[in-house]
C-alpha cells in the first residue's frame, strides 16, 4: 500500500545544493546555461506576477553519470539571468523528471514550487516531492513528500490556478500529476496530488493503473476555471500503452478531467483515449500538453457557444518523415457530471502546425488578459525553427484562427517552454539547443516588435495618421488592439461594427502595430 512519509533524501538533496556565483548574460536571445555535450537539458519557465522570470532546467548526463536541477531568475524582463541554485545527484540516486510553477507578486511573497521525481537504486525506492522555495531559490520546506520502496518514478508535472483561483481553493490551488511503477504488483500508475490551501497540505488520488512497466509515460496537468465552472477544474493528459522504444515510443494519449478535488462521484470509468479522436491517431501519438481556460471573470465560449474550454495538444506521427501537432478540444456535448464518462464524440480536433513540415514538442500557456492560448513548438523543414502562435479561446475550433507571430531559426532545438509575463504583457519562453539552454522575451501575445507583419493585412487609413484612424474589418465584434514596439497595449476596443474610427491624438509620435484577429498593420503616428 502506498504511504506518505518524509524522506531523509530530501534533506540531503537541498542541504547539498550548490551555491552559484551570479552570472549575468545580456542580449536578445539569452544564453542561460552551457551544459556538457553528453548532457540533455529540459527547461521549464514560469513568471511571477511582478514580472520576475524563473527557469528550471532538468539536466541528464549519461557519461558522468549524474542528473541535476538548475534554477535561474531574471529580474529585468529577461535582459539578464542569474543562476540561483543547482542541485546535483549522482551515481545511484537520480532525478527522473522535474517541473515548476511560481506564485506571488513581490520579493517578499514569491514562492517557487518545484515538483520532482527521484529514483534510488540503492534501496529500490522512489520519491515524489513538491519543494517550496523563496524568491532567491532558498529552500523553505517540502509540503508534499511521497517515498516508497519497490517503486520507480517516471514523469511528473505541476500546475497552479494562482492567477485565477477557483472557489474551492483558498488562497489558490496546486496540483501535481505523476506516473510511476509498483514492482510488487507489476502495475504502472497515474497519480494526482492536490492542495486547495495554497500548498500547505496535499491529498493523493491514484487515478489509473495498467499491468506492466512503463505503461504510462510523459504527463501534463492544468488547473483552470471560469464563470462557467467556478469551483475549478483539473485536466490531466498522459502517454499510455506499450513503450517498445522507451519514453520516445509512439503510443496513445489518455485524458482525465474532474473538479480540482477529484470527486469520486464525477470520476470517469476510464481515461478517454483521445488519440482515437483523430484520424490515424491511435498508437501514433506522444508528448501531450494540456491547458485549461483560466479566467474566473469570463464565461468561455467556443464559436460563440457556451462551453467548457481547454485544449490538449500532442505530437502525431503519420509516417517516419511526417510528424504534426494536433489538438483536441471539448465539443458542445462535453460535460463533467456525476456518473458520466465522456465518449469520443464529446471531443473535436484540429491541427496546430502546418501540414508541409515536421513539428514536435509543443508547450502551452494561457493569457487571461486577452483569453488567449499561447503555443510554442519546434518545426523542421529545411532547418529547425521555434514557432510561436496564439489563439483566442472562442476560436479554437478552427486552425486558421491561430495567429503566427514569428519563429526563431536554430540548428538543434528539442525542448520548449512558454509563459506570459502579466506585468509586461510579454511572452517569455525557453528552449534547449544542442548543449545549451536559451531564453527570450521579445514576443508579445498581441504581435509586437519588428517581426514580419502578415501579408494578410487589415485596412487602416490614413497611414500615417495624426488624429483619427479608420479601421475596416471583415467581421464585426472583434477586438482591436494597438501596441507600441515594446509590446505594451496602448489602446484596445471591442468593435461592434465592421468599420471603426479611433481617436489616436493622445498617442505619442512613432511606430505602432494595429491588430484585429490574424490581421495586422504597421501604423505611423505623426
- Identify the bridge partners of residue 330 per DSSP, sorted by sequence position: 347
pLDDT digits (tens, 9 = 90+) for 222-253: 999 887 777 899 999 999 998 877 767 899 99
Give the per-residue pLDDT at 2. 38
Give the per-residue pLDDT at 435. 67
pLDDT digits (tens, 9 = 90+) for 343-357: 999 999 999 877 667
| Whether pLDDT at 449 is above 80 | no
- Take residue 310 and report the three cell numbers written for it: 481547454
Mapped onto helix, strand or coil, the DSSP state of residue 264 is: helix
The dihedral region occupied by 49, where left means phi > 0, alpha psi between -120 and 50, and beta the remainder, is alpha
Q: Which of 204-218, 258-272, 379-393, 400-414 has the lowest mean pLDDT?
A: 400-414
pLDDT digits (tens, 9 = 90+) for 138-170: 999 999 999 999 999 999 999 999 999 988 889
Q: Report whether 130 contacts 176 (CB < 8 A).
A: yes
Give the per-residue pLDDT at 206. 97
Q: Which of 310-319, 451-460, 477-486 has the lowest mean pLDDT?
A: 451-460
Burial of 436 (0-12, 13-18, 19+ CB in 10 A): middle
At residue 451 the predicted structure's pLDDT band, cuts being 50, 70 and 90, is: very low
d(CA 197, CA 504): 46
pLDDT digits (tens, 9 = 90+) for 256-278: 999 999 999 999 999 999 999 98
Residue 70's nearest CA partner among 439, 441, 443 is 439
| Whether pLDDT at 22 is above 50 | no
Mapped onto helix, strand or coil, the DSSP state of residue 274 is: helix
Give the per-residue pLDDT at 27. 39
- List CB contacts of 376: < 8 A, sequence separation 6 or more: 362, 363, 386, 387, 388, 389, 416, 417, 418, 429, 431
Mean pLDDT of 471-499: 78
pLDDT digits (tens, 9 = 90+) for 393-408: 999 999 999 988 766 6
| Whether pLDDT at 52 is above 60 | yes
Q: Report whether 484 contacts 492 (CB < 8 A).
A: no
- Take residue 124 and report the three cell numbers written for it: 529500490
d(CA 199, CA 29): 34
Angle (CA) 304 309 311, round 5°: 120
- Take residue 96 and report the three cell numbers written for it: 527522473
pLDDT digits (tens, 9 = 90+) for 266-313: 999 999 999 999 878 888 999 999 999 999 889 999 999 999 999 999
Tell whether omega for the bond before 477 is within 30 degrees of 0, i.e. cis: no
**pTM value > 0.85:** no
Backbone angles phi, psi at 344, to 5 degrees: -60, -30
Give the per-residue pLDDT at 4. 37
Based on DSSP, count helices (H) and strands (E) in the chain, helices before strands: 1, 38
Mean pLDDT of 465-492: 80
Residue-by-residue DSSP string for 142-179: EEEEEEEETEEEEEEEEEE-TTS--TT-SS--EEEEEE
Question: Could you tell me which residue, 6 or 39, shows the higher pLDDT?
Answer: 39
Half-sphere exposure for 436 (CA within 13 Å, toward CB): 10
Domains by residue range for the chain, with CATH: 97-377+394-413 (2.120.10), 459-525 (2.60.40.10)
Give the per-residue pLDDT at 174. 98
d(CA 73, CA 406): 25
At residue 445 the predicted structure's pLDDT band, cuts being 50, 70 and 90, is: very low
Question: Could you tell me which residue, 506 or 319, shows the higher pLDDT?
Answer: 506
SS3 content of the chain, % helix, strand, coil (to 5): 5, 55, 40
Give the per-residue pLDDT at 24. 32
- Identify the bridge partners of residue 114 per DSSP, sorted by sequence position: 100, 131
Mean pLDDT of 90-114: 94
| Whether pLDDT at 3 is above 90 | no
List alpha helices for 32-166, DSSP H.
Answer: none
Would you mind telling me the total number of residues written for the chain in this entry? 526
DSSP 8-state class, residue 10? H
Give the per-residue pLDDT at 191. 98
Question: Could you tell me which residue, 26 or 500, shows the higher pLDDT?
Answer: 500
| Whether pLDDT at 488 is above 70 | no
Place of cell 531523509: 8
Give the per-residue pLDDT at 408. 66
Amino acid at each position: 500500500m502506498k504511504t506518505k512519509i518524509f524522506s531523509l533524501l530530501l534533506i540531503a538533496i537541498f542541504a547539498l545544493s550548490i551555491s552559484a556565483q551570479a552570472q549575468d548574460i545580456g542580449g536578445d536571445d539569452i544564453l542561460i546555461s552551457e551544459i556538457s555535450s553528453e548532457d540533455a537539458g529540459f527547461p521549464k519557465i514560469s513568471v511571477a506576477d511582478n514580472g520576475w522570470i524563473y527557469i528550471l532546467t532538468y539536466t541528464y548526463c549519461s557519461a558522468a553519470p549524474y542528473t541535476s536541477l538548475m534554477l535561474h531568475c531574471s529580474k529585468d524582463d529577461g535582459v539578464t539571468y542569474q543562476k540561483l541554485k543547482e542541485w546535483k545527484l549522482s551515481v545511484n540516486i537520480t532525478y527522473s523528471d522535474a517541473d515548476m510553477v511560481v506564485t506571488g507578486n513581490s520579493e517578499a511573497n514569491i514562492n517557487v514550487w518545484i515538483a520532482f521525481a527521484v529514483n534510488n537504486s540503492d534501496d529500490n525506492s522512489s520519491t515524489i516531492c513538491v519543494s517550496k522555495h523563496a524568491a532567491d531559490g532558498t529552500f523553505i520546506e517540502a509540503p508534499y513528500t511521497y517515498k516508497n520502496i519497490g517503486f520507480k518514478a517516471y514523469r511528473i508535472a505541476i500546475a497552479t490556478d494562482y492567477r485565477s483561483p477557483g472557489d474551492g481553493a483558498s488562497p489558490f490551488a496546486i496540483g501535481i500529476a505523476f506516473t510511476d511503477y509498483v514492482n510488487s504488483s507489476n502495475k504502472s500508475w497515474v497519480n494526482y496530488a492536490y492542495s486547495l490551501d495554497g500548498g500547505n497540505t496535499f491529498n493523493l488520488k491514484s487515478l489509473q493503473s495498467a499491468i506492466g512497466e512503463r505503461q504510462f509515460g510523459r504527463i501534463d496537468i492544468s488547473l483552470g476555471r471560469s464563470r462557467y465552472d467556478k469551483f475549478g477544474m483539473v485536466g490531466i493528459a498522459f502517454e499510455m500503452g506499450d513503450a517498445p522504444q522507451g519514453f520516445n515510443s509512439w503510443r496513445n494519449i489518455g485524458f482525465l478531467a474532474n473538479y480540482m478535488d477529484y470527486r469520486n462521484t464525477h470520476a470517469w470509468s476510464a481515461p478517454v483515449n483521445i488519440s482515437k479522436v483523430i484520424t490515424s491517431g491511435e498508437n501514433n501519438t506522444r508528448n501531450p500538453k494540456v491547458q485549461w481556460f483560466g479566467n474566473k471573470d469570463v464565461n468561455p465560449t467556443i464559436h460563440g457557444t457556451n462551453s467548457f474550454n481547454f485544449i490538449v495538444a500532442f505530437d502525431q506521427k503519420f509516417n517516419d518523415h511526417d510528424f504534426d501537432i494536433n489538438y483536441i478540444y471539448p465539443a458542445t456535448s462535453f460535460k463533467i457530471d456525476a456518473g458520466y464518462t465522456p465518449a469520443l464524440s464529446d471531443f473535436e480536433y484540429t491541427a496546430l502546425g502546418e501540414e508541409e513540415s515536421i513539428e514536435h514538442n509543443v508547450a502551452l500557456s494561457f493569457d487571461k488578459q486577452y483569453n488567449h492560448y499561447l503555443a510554442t513548438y519546434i518545426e523542421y523543414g529545411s532547418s529547425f525553427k521555434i514557432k510561436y502562435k496564439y489563439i483566442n479561446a472562442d476560436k479554437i475550433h478552427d486552425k486558421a484562427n491561430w495567429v503566427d507571430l514569428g519563429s526563431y531559426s536554430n540548428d538543434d532545438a528539442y525542448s520548449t517552454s512558454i509563459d506570459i509575463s502579466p506585468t509586461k504583457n510579454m511572452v517569455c519562453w525557453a528552449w534547449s539547443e544542442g548543449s545549451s539552454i536559451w531564453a527570450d522575451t521579445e514576443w508579445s501575445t498581441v504581435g509586437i516588435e519588428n517581426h514580419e507583419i502578415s501579408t494578410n493585412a487589415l485596412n487602416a487609413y490614413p497611414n500615417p495618421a495624426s488624429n483619427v484612424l479608420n479601421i475596416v474589418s471583415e467581421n464585426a465584434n472583434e477586438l482591436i488592439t494597438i501596441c507600441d514596439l515594446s509590446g505594451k497595449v496602448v489602446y484596445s476596443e471591442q468593435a461592434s461594427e465592421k468599420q471603426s474610427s479611433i481617436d489616436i491624438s493622445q498617442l505619442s509620435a512613432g511606430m505602432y502595430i494595429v491588430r484585429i484577429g490574424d490581421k495586422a498593420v504597421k501604423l505611423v503616428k505623426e
